[in-house]
Structure 1
Amino acid sequence: MLYYATEIPVTKETSLSGRDASIETIQRELTAFARRARHKASQMHPGLTLVMYSMLDLMNERGGCRAADLAAHFLLDKSTVSRQVSALEKLGLVSREVDPEDHRGQILRPSEAGLVLLREAYEVRRQSFTERFTGWSDADLADLARHLVRYGEAD
């Protein structure tokens, strides 16, 4: 790292101009956010990964779904989804039901234990976000929410 005479560190971000520096900062912060999310997921339940938690959450949000729906939503290979769902089943967090529209298929839903885990995780997340945003104005929160939705819609 280089230093100016005033002892201010010169980083890659400070050597970039406006837009490029902002993109670098966003990338770094979103990567750190993802790492924290993975860590938090592992704290919720032994053996639970962020991918598994995200799948369980989507099953709940949709009122159940097929493995192919999970693969499409998360852009994962069907074999990867199969392994993740099997692990969720072994943890007792998922149940399978025959798809009433196609008896060859199965609908995946959170089990009662999975629903309890999701409720507890939701409360922990809500408290964590509430604490993080204590000093933020309502306008700042609304702006962040709007920007995150806009960012997500790009997919």
Structure 2
Amino acid sequence: MVESHGAAPIRSERDEAVAHILHELIVVSRRGVISARVIEEHSAGPDLTEAEQSIMAYLAERPGIRSTDVATAFALNRSTVSRQLDRLVELGLVRTTDSPGRGRPLELTDLGRELFDSTIAKLRAETAERMSTWTNAQIAEFAAALARFNEPDTL
């Protein structure tokens, strides 16, 4: 049996590989949070929570969605999402648009889009720097593996 970063012993080579992947994903997540905080500290924009940044990213990719869609996507209570969206609206980063149906479609404002694009550009540059010694094939393989990992469940 093989050690598993402080957890129960691992029984197979596959289990060991899965545990190693989980460990590395945790490191990537932690590094991403730290990078986003450092970039935000040096930006002229408002201080946003990780949840608010995630909501902005979701809206950037899906303009016109409703708060209930955000709550469902993030598995959060609608009142929690509503409070976060209210703050983003107050900051001038998100706006609601008129719609004949229930709920109000959401989108980033010009300021919200500018802040989001600026942050993403900095994170993209940091990622490119981190992978500067990788070949194009290695980057493509990693991107494909991450995309497959992040596919929605099809069961």
Code of the residue aligned with 2:71 in structure 1: it is: A
Residue 66 of structure 1 deviates from its aligned partner by 0.6
In 1, Cα distance between equivalents of 2:95 and 2:59: 10
- Corresponding residue for residue 108 of structure 2: 110
1:52 counterpart residue number: 52
TM-score, normalised to structure 1, is 0.80
CA RMSD between the two structures = 2.0
TM-score (norm 2): 0.80
What residue number does 1:5 align with? Answer: none
* Cα offset, 1:89, TM superposition: 2.0
Going by fraction, where is strand more abundant, 1 or 2? 1
Task: Specify the SS of the correspondent of 1:88.
Answer: helix
Query: What is the one-letter code of the residue matched to 1:78?
Result: R
What's the counterpart of residue 18 of structure 1?
13
What displacement does 1:154 show?
4.3
How far apart are the structure 2 equivalents of 1:67 and 1:139? 39
Query: How high is the sequence identity, in percent, across the aligned residues?
Result: 34
Cα deviation, 1:43-76, whole Å, max 9, x if unaligned, reads 4254312221121122121223110111122222
Deviation sequence 1:79-124 (CA, Å, 0-9, x none): 121121122123221112222x31x421111112111111101210
Match of 1:33 in 2: 28
Structure 1, gaps ≥5 residues long: 1-9
- Which amino acid in the other structure matches residue 27 of structure 1? L
| Structure 1 Cα separation of the partners of residues 152 and 60 of structure 2 | 24
| Structure 2 residue aligned with 1:121 | 119
**SS of aligned partner of 1:12:** coil
For 2:141 and 2:32, locate their aligned partners in 1 and report how far apart those are by CA, in whole Å: 22
Once residues 39 and 90 of structure 1 are traced to their aligned partners in structure 2, the CA distance between those partners, rounded to angstroms, is 25
Higher relative contact order (CA 8 A, sep 6+): 2
**What count of residue pairs does the alignment treat as equivalent?**
143
Cα 1:84–1:41 shift into 2, 3 Å: farther
Measured in 2, the distance between the counterparts of 1:83 and 1:118 equals: 20
